[in-house]
Structure 1
Amino acid sequence: MSVTMDGTKQQRRGNTRQRIQDVALELFAEQGYEKTSLREIAERLDVTKAALYYHFKTKEEIVVSLFEDLTVPIDAVIEWGRQQPHTLETKQEIVRRYSEALTGAEPLFRFMQENQATVRELRIGDTFKDLVRRLRDTIIDTEAPLVEQVRFVSAIFTLHAGMFVMQDMEGDPEKRRQAVLEVAVDLVTQAYEGARKGR
């Protein structure tokens, strides 16, 4: 069994597209994006190159598909948040849902960090920045004092930092995720309460 980008467990022979993405990320982490070929991905999967081509023609297509798979649940969080009242509970729930959407995305974030030139070339970085800006606009209280606006935004980046900083730490990954989430929810709560006092 392997954990997929959406956090579900699947049999190795299950979803071929997902298997290709998982194996490609493994190889990119092991030997670098530039040094990994489609042939090596096919060999690791024990499929022909033609079978791999059925799903992806290039390494770039694999990376873009990984990113697109990540954006779907994040877009859903943003759309949900936009339709809710601007209450503390809504803002806390946005952070919880965003944390869930990021579950299982550590390998992709690591790839983005270690392959910044490729990320720029494929315009993934720009698209991700736009996604985070939309999330920021959904959670932030624009009439709040600047310090509180920074706290709102910091809640989002706490979740990102948690993926990088905490991934090599000992212990249960779910407990680490919950600890990071608790800090992010705390920041939103402080920002919301501070914004109300500042009015």
Structure 2
Amino acid sequence: MGERRSDTRERIQATALELFAEHGYEKTSLREIAERLHVTKAALYYHFNSKEDIVVSLFDGLIAEIDATIAWLRDQPRTAETRRELVQRYARLAHDSPPGMRRLLQDVRSSMRELSVGEQLQERMRTMVRLLTDRDAPALTQLKCVMALASINAAMFVLQDTDIAAEERHAAGLTLALELVG
């Protein structure tokens, strides 16, 4: 019996993520993905029309989780407790994403602006920041909230090429973020 369509899509996604992590988004072609999977490009096109479609599909789950976090945040008072809870939720999302996804995010940061998923992620970040503080909050408070989310990303991306273990980077980013949101 043949492989289910969803299983094939998942294999394509996993293989593409591996190749993106190994060679970078820009340097990975659909041909290389097909070759690694031992399928034709036509078979790949049956599931995904483009490399961007693969990337978008890889981020669907993350975006859905961020949307759920935003929905939760909309119903919360703008308090220090809410800010701490958001930081912890966001840190979990960042930490639980596969290492290849982190590399892909970093690698295609400039390309992400051109990809629809990049704009979606940026808009979600802007929404979280807006919901995190009152519009009338002092500039320093607003900046601390922005930097809290940025510190989680920095711990994940900027420090990844150091000798610091992933768990230690995660803990450091979370600790700093929690300090910033008070």
Within the candidate set 39, 54, 63, 1:62 is matched to 54
Check 1:37–1:173 CA distance in 2 against 1; reply closer, same or farther (3 A cut).
Answer: same
Task: Report deviation, 1:187.
Answer: 0.6
Task: Report deviation, 1:169.
Answer: 2.9
Cα distance in 2, alignment partners of residues 143 and 52 from structure 1: 51
Cα distance in 1, alignment partners of residues 109 and 148 from structure 2: 24
- Corresponding residue for residue 71 of structure 2: 79
Letter in 2 for 1:115: V
Number of residue pairs matched by the alignment: 176
Deviates more, 1:176-185 or 1:120-129: 120-129
Letter in 2 for 1:86: R
Task: Report deviation, 1:117.
Answer: 5.2
Q: TM-score, normalised by structure 1?
A: 0.76
Q: Once superposed, what is the RMSD of the aligned Cα atoms?
A: 2.4
Check 1:62–1:77 CA distance in 2 against 1; reply closer, same or farther (3 A cut).
Answer: same
Letter in 2 for 1:137: R
Within the candidate set 18, 35, 50, 1:26 is matched to 18
Check 1:118–1:175 CA distance in 2 against 1; reply closer, same or farther (3 A cut).
Answer: closer
Check 1:154–1:32 CA distance in 2 against 1; reply closer, same or farther (3 A cut).
Answer: closer
Q: Structure 1 residue 184 and structure 2 residue 159: aligned?
A: no
Q: Structure 1 residue 140 and structure 2 residue 151: aligned?
A: no
Percent identical: 49
Q: TM-score, normalised by structure 2?
A: 0.82
Check 1:162–1:116 CA distance in 2 against 1; reply closer, same or farther (3 A cut).
Answer: closer
Q: Structure 1 residue 162 and structure 2 residue 164: aligned?
A: no
- Corresponding residue for residue 121 of structure 1: 114
Within the candidate set 32, 36, 50, 1:44 is matched to 36
> Is the CA contact 2:78–2:133 (under 8 Å) kept in the aligned structure 1?
no
Higher relative contact order (CA 8 A, sep 6+): 2
> Is the CA contact 1:106–1:163 (under 8 Å) kept in the aligned structure 2?
no
Identify unmatched segments of 5+ residues in structure 1: 1-13, 190-199
Check 1:173–1:112 CA distance in 2 against 1; reply closer, same or farther (3 A cut).
Answer: closer
